[in-house]
Structure 1
Amino acid sequence: MKAHLKAGITALSLITATAFAADIRIDGFPDYDTQINAIKDGLSQHNVTMLKNNHGDHHNKLKTNLATGTGAGDVVLIDVGFVGSFVNAGGFVDLTKFYKDMAGDYASYAVAAGKGNDGAQYAVPVDLGPGVMYYRRDYMEDMGFDLDEVMTDWDTYIDYGRKLKEKGILLIGDAGALANAYYRFNTKEGEGLYFDADGKSLVTSERFVRAFEIAKEVRDGGMDGQISEWTEDWYSGFRDGKFATQMSGAWLLGHLKNWIAPDTAGLWGVSNLPAGTYGSWGGSYLAIPKQAKNPEASWDLIEYMISEDIQLAGFKNIAAFPAHTGTYNDASFEEPIEFLRGQKARMLFAEIVDNVAPVTPMKGDLIAEDLINQALEKVLNDGEDIKKALNDVEKQLKRRVR
Structure 2
Amino acid sequence: MTRRRALLGAGLAAALPVRAGARAVLTVAAFPLVDEIARAATPAWQRLHPEVELRVLSRQYSDHHTAMTTALSTAVALPDVMALESSFVGRFAQGGGLEDLRQPPYEVERFRARLVPYAYEQAVARNGAVVAMPADIGPGTLLYRQDILSRAALAEDDLTRSWEHYVAAGARIKARTGAYLIAHVQEIKDILIRSGLRPGEGLYFDTDSRVLVNSPRFERAFEVAREARRQGLDARVPAWSNDWAEGFKRGRLATELSGAWLAGQLNSFIAPGTRGLWRAAPLPEGASAAYGGAFYAMPRHAAPARKALAWDFIRLMTLDPQLQLQAFKAYDAFPALLATHEDAFFSEPLPFLGGQPARRLWREAARRISAAPVHKQNQFAEEVVQTELDKVLNRAKPIRQALADAEQLLERRARR
TM (normalized to structure 1)?
A: 0.92
Task: Answer yes or no: is the 8 Å Cα contact 1:22–1:297 preserved in 2.
Answer: no
User: How many angstroms does 1:22 deviate by?
Assistant: 4.2
Equivalent position of 2:80 in the other structure: 74
- Deviation readout 1:247-274 (Å, 9 max, x if unpaired): 0001111210110001110000000011
Aligned equivalents of 1:25 and 1:179: distance in 2?
39
Alignment map for 1:314-353 (pairs within 5 Å): 314-353=327-366
Aligned pair partner of 1:49 in 55, 63, 81: 55
Alignment map for 1:1-400 (pairs within 5 Å): 22-44=24-46, 45=50, 46-97=52-103, 98=106, 99-141=108-150, 143-167=152-176, 168-293=178-303, 294-306=306-318, 307-400=320-413
User: How many angstroms does 1:193 deviate by?
Assistant: 1.1
Code of the aligned partner of 1:68:
T
User: How many angstroms does 1:217 deviate by?
Assistant: 0.7
Code of the aligned partner of 2:340:
T
Tell me the secondary structure at the aligned position of residue 130 of structure 2: coil
Equivalent position of 1:6 in the other structure: none
User: How many angstroms does 1:208 deviate by?
Assistant: 1.0
Aligned equivalents of 1:47 and 1:391: distance in 2?
55
Equivalent position of 1:18 in the other structure: none
Tell me the secondary structure at the aligned position of residue 181 of structure 2: strand
Code of the aligned partner of 1:281:
Y
Equivalent pairs counted in the alignment come to: 382
Bigger relative contact order, structure 1 or 2 (CA pairs below 8 A, ≥6 apart): 1
Deviates more, 1:60-69 or 1:232-241: 60-69
Code of the aligned partner of 1:343:
Q
Task: Answer yes or no: is the 8 Å Cα contact 2:194–2:288 preserved in 1.
Answer: no
Tell me the secondary structure at the aligned position of residue 280 of structure 2: strand
User: How many angstroms does 1:392 deviate by?
Assistant: 2.1
Tell me the secondary structure at the aligned position of residue 185 of structure 1: coil
- Indicate the structure with greater helix content: 1
Tell me the secondary structure at the aligned position of residue 254 of structure 2: strand
Equivalent position of 2:10 in the other structure: none
Task: Answer yes or no: is the 8 Å Cα contact 1:185–1:280 preserved in 2.
Answer: no
Q: Which runs of 5+ in 1 are unaligned?
A: 1-20
Aligned equivalents of 2:308 and 2:407: distance in 1?
42
Aligned equivalents of 2:24 and 2:201: distance in 1?
41
Cα 1:120/1:170, change in 2 over 3 Å: same
User: How many angstroms does 1:197 deviate by?
Assistant: 1.6
Code of the aligned partner of 2:267:
K
**Identity percentage of aligned residues:** 36
- Deviation readout 1:336-374 (Å, 9 max, x if unpaired): 001100000000010011111221122221111122222
Task: Answer yes or no: is the 8 Å Cα contact 2:152–2:172 preserved in 1.
Answer: no
Aligned equivalents of 1:386 and 1:48: distance in 2?
52
Cα 1:210/1:74, change in 2 over 3 Å: same
Aligned equivalents of 1:203 and 1:235: distance in 2?
32
Task: Answer yes or no: is the 8 Å Cα contact 1:111–1:124 preserved in 2.
Answer: yes
User: How many angstroms does 1:74 deviate by?
Assistant: 1.2
User: How many angstroms does 1:39 deviate by?
Assistant: 2.8
Q: Over aligned residues, Cα RMSD in angstroms?
A: 1.5
Tell me the secondary structure at the aligned position of residue 56 of structure 2: strand
Aligned equivalents of 1:63 and 1:377: distance in 2?
29
Task: Answer yes or no: is the 8 Å Cα contact 1:189–1:357 preserved in 2.
Answer: no
Tell me the secondary structure at the aligned position of residue 76 of structure 1: strand
Tell me the secondary structure at the aligned position of residue 24 of structure 1: strand
Code of the aligned partner of 1:345:
A
Tell me the secondary structure at the aligned position of residue 257 of structure 2: strand
Task: Answer yes or no: is the 8 Å Cα contact 1:82–1:366 preserved in 2.
Answer: no
Deviates more, 1:331-340 or 1:205-214: 205-214
Aligned equivalents of 2:273 and 2:333: distance in 1?
22
Tell me the secondary structure at the aligned position of residue 134 of structure 2: strand
Aligned equivalents of 1:80 and 1:370: distance in 2?
18
Tell me the secondary structure at the aligned position of residue 226 of structure 1: coil
* Structure 1 runs of 4+ with >6 Å offset: none
Aligned equivalents of 2:214 and 2:89: distance in 1?
23
Aligned equivalents of 1:48 and 1:95: distance in 2?
22
- Deviation readout 1:175-213 (Å, 9 max, x if unpaired): 111001111233222211111121111111111111111
Cα 1:142/1:351, change in 2 over 3 Å: farther
Task: Answer yes or no: is the 8 Å Cα contact 1:192–1:360 preserved in 2.
Answer: yes
User: How many angstroms does 1:171 deviate by?
Assistant: 0.5
Aligned equivalents of 2:268 and 2:39: distance in 1?
17
